[in-house]
């Protein structure tokens, strides 16, 4: 199901940047899909989009009201329901990235049904998937993988898509997480799929395509993460990547959410991912290394990337700071 | 939820051995949990348990009526419903390993509720799981892993449990699939868990225990299987095994259900599984190799196991034919 743009980004009463990561992602990468943001009293953050009320957004053409913030527990607060109902009364579809389903709230469900509008809970896939079959599909695919969770796989993927588009290459960003789905307009929250169908759902994210077409598949988790490696593995197998971009963030002291767990080295991450990728694509190669250098200054960022590239023999950049040309040179 | 024994094994109108694998498994490994089998006209197979009707089984003390066969599609045939209702009327709980839920059939749901009986759909976990946290738990764990799916991981696990029990070791078989759950009386069908929670569900299968206690964790799938490796990975990480038993079946020409996909070598399977296991247990070792030799004669079986053991330097047996002593010697 394609999410209809443009979006009105509902930020609720979010008070920190991290909780509007989803709204920021779409405002940064697809401003053309956004018409504005809608905030409640107490909201202390902004995506940079113009602030507007629901009626104004409707008049400006907004098609979808997006709950694009996170809260602890992922429940829909009772205080937000009147705003969701107002959006439905203004003929907007509603999308939510929260854990609790829009469809579990009777008033919302009833009004959406009455007005013929869609409620899309992007963390709850409704598709029926096949299991993976390991068969080669036409088209080219790159997947981003990480030394850890939250190291910049989505941003690196989007940088690659932009870089390829600038070269006139037929390319699509393929989303596997809720923020990516909002950016792409479709995709599958792969970590919410039943375990038997991870690889099959991954196949459906990057289906057969023209032989020269590239899919840039947004990776999830890390093969070295004690909680989420199963998700990473199934996604990788289903993607049957021709090329793998290794993503890494500087200055992590422990794996995300895990006490006293050192990150794997980039070399270990390369070895683990190549071995796994070869199960469904014996020709998979390493495209390069993307380093999130946001914790160091410009010169340090350049020095670190140069050093990693020399040591490991692959192009290494911070895609956000340095662009992705060396990586594209390597794979095209 | 512990499944209450003894069981009356319902075979429906199954006509081939493979479709009653679940019933055969429990009849072979836990005959003391079974009171008999109940067959419909047309059923051409047997578990070896005495055939009896529902009232007779009830009089003999049966506590649970188990739909212990598989059919294409996993739906509950309308013709079986009267028999399920009859079991409920005889105060038996009902367990099903089919895909369609017992609780989705109103007449069954209503009667079970009215009589205060449990309906347990073992392919649909109802527990709430945490995500994996990678923290070390007390107790010792061995997991069985495979070069492919359906190579004998459950049988090898049960042979190990029996061998350890014979030595007086405090040990439990821990089930991760529907047949194993029926044998153990509890467990989690790990391939039915939401992807984010595979490793966390695996933790719940083999919780912290006495320091000298062994859990033998039934593995699923294979890290080299294009459809199910994500399941295998999360299960392995959550199990944080001290020892890994590599299971292999002779004379496979392609991976199960996948066209033209050669099996990985035992060496590759060792390398993949050790690398993955070291994420949550840096001290994980290979316990040995279990070969399903059912496709060759006695002498060939012995020769093949001896050859593999010499080549790879690990004990190698067919646990069903040769017992598990060399493996126990290696790990205890």
| Phi and psi at residue A256, to the nearest 5° | -55, 120
Residue pLDDT, tens place only, B222-275: 999 999 999 999 999 999 999 999 999 999 999 999 999 999 999 999 999 999
Beta-bridge partners for B64: B7, B93
Strands B243-249 and B140-146: parallel
Contact A233 B235 (CB under 8 A): no
Contacts (Cβ under 8 Å, ≥6 apart) of A60: A35, A36, A52
A152 and A218 within one domain: yes
Residue B2 is assigned to a structural domain of this protein: no
pLDDT of residue A170: 98
Residue pLDDT, tens place only, B13-68: 999 988 999 999 999 999 999 999 999 999 999 999 999 999 999 999 999 999 99
Residue A285 is assigned to a structural domain of this protein: yes
Contact B231 A135 (CB under 8 A): no
Residue A209 is assigned to a structural domain of this protein: yes
Residue A300 is assigned to a structural domain of this protein: yes
Residue pLDDT, tens place only, B282-325: 999 999 999 999 999 999 999 999 999 999 999 999 999 999 99
A203 and A106 within one domain: no
Residue pLDDT, tens place only, B177-214: 999 999 999 999 999 999 999 999 999 999 999 999 99
What is the number of CB-based contacts under 8 A between chain A and chain B? 137
Q: Tokens representing B302?
A: 């012995």
Which residue in chain A has the smallest CA separation from B124?
Answer: A194
Residue A320 is assigned to a structural domain of this protein: yes
- The residue segments making up the domain with residue B201 are 140-331
Contact between B132 and B202 under an 8 Å Cβ cutoff? The reply is yes
Examine the fold and report which residue of A54, A86, A121 is the final residue of a domain before the chain moves on.
A121
B144 and B272 within one domain: yes
A194 and A51 within one domain: no
- Chain B closest CA to A190's CA: distance in Å? 7
pLDDT of residue B74: 86
pLDDT of residue A309: 98
Distance CA A181, CA A126 (A): 14
A86 and A195 within one domain: no
Find the length of chain B.
332
pLDDT at A14 over 90: yes
Residue A188 is assigned to a structural domain of this protein: yes
Q: What is the four-CA torsion angle of B55, B59, B60, B61, rounded to 10 degrees?
A: 100
pLDDT band for position B148 (50/70/90)?
very high
B172 and B298 within one domain: yes
A167 and A101 within one domain: no
Distance CA B314, CA A306 (A): 44
For chain A, how big is the Rg over CA atoms in Å?
20
Distance CA B117, CA B288 (A): 44
Distance CA A103, CA A105 (A): 5
Contact B134 A228 (CB under 8 A): no
A172 and A33 within one domain: no
Region at A134 (left for phi over 0; alpha for psi -120 to 50; beta for the rest): left
Tell me the chain B residues in contact with residue A234 when contact means C-beta distances shorter than 8 Å: 195, 229-231
Tell me the chain B residues in contact with residue A230 when contact means C-beta distances shorter than 8 Å: 195, 198-199, 230-235, 237
Side-chain-side CA neighbours of B189 within 13 Å: the count stands at 17
* A236, A289, A305 from A309: Cα distances, Å: 24, 8, 6
Q: Tokens representing B101?
A: 């839920």
B70 and B149 within one domain: no
pLDDT of residue B170: 98
B221 and B280 within one domain: yes
Specify the CATH number for the domain of residue B266: 3.40.50.300
Distance CA A316, CA A304 (A): 9
Residue pLDDT, tens place only, A167-195: 999 999 999 999 999 999 999 999 999 99
Which residue in chain B has the smallest CA separation from A232?
Answer: B230
B144 and B95 within one domain: no
Examine the fold and report which residue of B93, B121, B149 is the final residue of a domain before the chain moves on.
B121
pLDDT at A107 over 90: yes
pLDDT of residue B207: 98
Contacts (Cβ under 8 Å, ≥6 apart) of A269: A145, A146, A147, A222, A223, A224, A246, A248
Examine the fold and report which residue of B86, B121, B156 is the final residue of a domain before the chain moves on.
B121
Please compute the mean of the pLDDT values over residues A130-137 and round it to a whole number.
95
Residue B267 is assigned to a structural domain of this protein: yes
Contacts (Cβ under 8 Å, ≥6 apart) of A153: A144, A145, A146, A218, A219, A220, A247
Specify the CATH number for the domain of residue B11: 3.40.50.720
Residue B61 is assigned to a structural domain of this protein: yes
Q: Which of A129, A177, A196 to mutate to test the interface with B (most CBs of B within 10 A)?
A: A196
B305 and B173 within one domain: yes
Q: Count up the domains in chain A and report the number.
A: 2
Q: How many CB atoms neighbour CB A99 within 10 A? A: 15
For chain B, how big is the Rg over CA atoms in Å?
20
Q: What percent of chain A shows pLDDT beyond 70? A: 100
Contact A258 B230 (CB under 8 A): no
- ipTM of this model? 0.93
What is the spatial order of strands in the sheet that A316-317 belongs to?
Answer: A171-174, A214-217, A140-146, A243-249, A285-292, A316-317
Contact B234 A235 (CB under 8 A): no
Find the length of chain A.
332
Contact A192 B192 (CB under 8 A): no
Residue pLDDT, tens place only, A221-237: 999 999 999 999 999 99
Residue pLDDT, tens place only, B94-142: 999 998 999 999 999 999 999 999 999 999 998 899 999 999 999 999 9
């Amino acid at each position: 199901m394609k999410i209809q743009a443009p979006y009105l980004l509902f930020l609720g009463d979010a008070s920190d940047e991290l909780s509007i990561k989803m709204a920021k992602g779409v405002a940064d990468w697809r401003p053309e899909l956004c018409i504005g943001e809608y905030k409640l009293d107490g909201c202390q953050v902004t995506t940079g989009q113009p602030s507007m009320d629901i009626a104004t957004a409707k008049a400006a053409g907004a098609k979808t009201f997006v709950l694009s913030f996170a809260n602890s527990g992922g429940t829909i607060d009772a205080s937000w329901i009147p705003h969701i109902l107002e959006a439905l009364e203004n003929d907007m579809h509603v999308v939510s990235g929260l854990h609790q389903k829009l469809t579990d709230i009777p008033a919302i469900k009833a009004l959406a049904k009455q007005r013929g509008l869609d409620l899309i809970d992007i963390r709850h896939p409704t598709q029926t998937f096949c299991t993976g079959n390991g068969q080669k599909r036409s088209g080219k695919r790159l997947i981003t993988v990480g030394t850890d969770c939250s190291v910049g796989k989505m941003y690196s993927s989007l940088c690659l898509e932009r870089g390829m588009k600038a070269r006139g290459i037929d390319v699509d960003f393929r989303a596997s997480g809720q923020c990516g789905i909002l950016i792409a307009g479709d995709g599958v929250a792969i970590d919410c799929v039943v375990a038997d169908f991870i690889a099959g759902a991954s196949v459906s994210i990057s289906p057969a395509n023209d032989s020269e077409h590239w899919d840039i598949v947004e990776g999830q988790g890390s093969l070295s993460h004690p909680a989420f490696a199963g998700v990473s593995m199934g996604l990788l197998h289903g993607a049957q990547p021709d090329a793998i971009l290794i993503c890494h963030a500087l200055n992590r002291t422990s794996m995300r959410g895990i006490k006293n767990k050192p990150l794997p080295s980039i070399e270990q991450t390369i070895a683990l991912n190549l071995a796994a990728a070869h199960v469904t694509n014996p020709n998979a190669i390493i495209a390069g290394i993307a380093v999130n250098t946001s914790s160091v200054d410009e010169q340090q960022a350049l020095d670190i990337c140069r050093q990693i590239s020399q040591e490991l023999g692959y192009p290494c950049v911070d895609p956000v700071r340095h662009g992705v040309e060396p990586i594209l040179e390597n794979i095209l």
